[in-house]
Amino acid sequence: EREREREMGFTEKQEALVKESWEVMKQNIPDQHSLRFFTLILEMAPAVKNMFPFLKDSDEIPQNNPKLKNHARIVFKMTCDSAIQLREKGQVVLPAVLLKHLGSAHLKKGVVDSHFEVVKKALLGTIKEAVGESWSDEMGGAWGEAYDQLAATIKTQMEEEA
């Protein structure tokens, strides 16, 4: 089954699993999931705190910071959009200006491969808790694949800017 899915690329089923769970989650991203997402990130990689200006000087994760909410929302939303692109075009394509901006912003902050892994785990952990009984390994695999491809696109750009 796994082998066949690989050959087929990103499947319609995988796209549907990502889109459905995103629909369930998205209205609660600002007040709930964004905080959980950052909590999981900092549990795994406490030093990440110093990368975000809005986390650096506070002992707790701020409950009402628009920038925190925004980074969380963007990571989720861009991963969901990547799933759709993988299904439609077989690859993640970002507008050149955005890609350049993403590359330089993360390079400047000192983001490295292991951070992308941490964020992936936090993303999947947040989704798993958010969707409850709807969760399946297949759903996690679909989000994970879309995230990996998005992260690879950003990392390639970071290498070019370095």
Q: Of 8, 20, 28, 53, which lies in the binding site for ligand HEM, with binding defined by CB under 6 A?
A: 53
| Complex with ligand HEM: residue 40 or 130, whichever CB lies closer | 40
Minimum CB distance to ligand HEM, residue 133 (Å): 27
Q: Of 109, 136, 152, 156, which lies in the binding site for ligand HEM, with binding defined by CB under 6 A?
A: 109
Q: Is 48 in the site for ligand HEM (CB under 6 A)?
A: yes
Q: Is 75 in the site for ligand HEM (CB under 6 A)?
A: yes
3-state secondary structure labels for all residues of 18-76: HHHHHHHHHHHHHHHHHHHHHHHHHHHCHHHHHHCHHHHCCCCCCCCCHHHHHHHHHHH
Minimum CB distance to ligand HEM, residue 146 (Å): 9
Both tokens assigned to 129? 């808790």
Minimum CB distance to ligand HEM, residue 51 (Å): 4
Q: Is 115 in the site for ligand HEM (CB under 6 A)?
A: yes
Distance CA 162, CA 149 (A): 20
Q: 78 and 29 in contact (C-beta within 8 Å)?
A: no
Distance CA 148, CA 27 (A): 24
Both tokens assigned to 61? 């994760």
Q: Of 10, 22, 37, 116, which lies in the binding site for ligand HEM, with binding defined by CB under 6 A?
A: 116
Minimum CB distance to ligand HEM, residue 154 (Å): 6
Q: Is 74 in the site for ligand HEM (CB under 6 A)?
A: yes
47 burial level (CB within 10 Å; 0-12, 13-18, 19+): exposed
Both tokens assigned to 44? 């795994």
The residue type at 127:
I
User: How many residues line the site for ligand HEM (CB under 6 A)?
Assistant: 20
Which positions lie near ligand HEM, rule CB under 6 A? 48, 51-53, 67, 71, 74-75, 78, 102, 105-106, 109, 111, 115-116, 119, 150-151, 154
